[in-house]
Amino acid sequence: MTRAGRALLLALALSSASLAHADDGCTLQLGHGWPPATENHGSAAEQVLIGDASPALSLTWLPKRGAEQSLMLLRPADGGDWTLRHAEAPERIDSWDTGGGGLKRILRIDQEPELREVPMPAMLATRVFDGWQRALQAGVPADRVAEFHDDELLLFVIDGERISGLEPGCGAGEVLMEQAGQLIDAADEEDADDRLDHWDDLDRSLDELHDALASGN
């Protein structure tokens, strides 16, 4: 998709977000902490995908089928560029073992994730961190706990604060998911010059997110 096409899609998403908010129809299905019956799977996924890293921000997908994946932003120790990392499990972590004549649920934690990472300009990474934190704080009340959902789940962790639930489909949360896609594209881009296009797209998206949050949409 061209940059103009991505910009148009983002503008349409933000327009839809504003309308949804105006109608009070935009409620993010996200809450604080672990959703019931999720912590074992989620902890195993984070163990494999994140390991000993301490990202400032992480987003982990727990799909109903297929491999789990995680997106991370890691602060630098020296004040330079941040690190943008995308990790994906080679095999589904939450799986079933049919050995021994029975069916047994297992967590495949003895595997090395496929990692792709790139340096990310500190100013842009900080804007992502601040924007996501503000969007989730605005959209997820502090007293709302995560609920059980029998569907693909998302695990956000920002500075140690866990917010979990279903993928947002409206409001600023939907814009976060578009930005997550842009970040994955950037992490998977090998050419540094081409990666600049992803940074430009992301920067414009963050401007729109800032305006939406400032107006209460």
> Per the structure, how many domains does the chain have?
1
Going edge to edge, which strands form the sheet with 82-88?
Answer: 30-32, 161-165, 153-158, 57-62, 69-74, 82-88, 114-120
> Binning pLDDT at 50, 70 and 90, where does residue 79 land?
confident
pLDDT for the residue numbered 8: 38
Q: How confident is the model over 120-167, as pLDDT tens digits?
A: 999 999 999 999 999 999 999 999 999 999 899 999 999 999 999 999
Spatial CB neighbours of 104, under 8 Å, sequence gap ≥ 6: 96, 97, 98
For residue 37, give the 3-state DSSP assignment: coil
> How far apart (Å, rounded) are the C-alpha atoms in residues 173 and 134?
11
* Domain that includes residue 130, residue range: 3-214
pLDDT for the residue numbered 14: 41
Helix residue spans in 50-139 (DSSP H): 122-139
- Other C-beta atoms lying within 10 Å of the C-beta of residue 160: 7
> How far apart (Å, rounded) are the C-alpha atoms in residues 8 and 57?
27
Q: How confident is the model over 38-54, as pLDDT tens digits?
A: 999 999 999 999 999 99
Q: What is the mean pLDDT of the chain?
A: 88
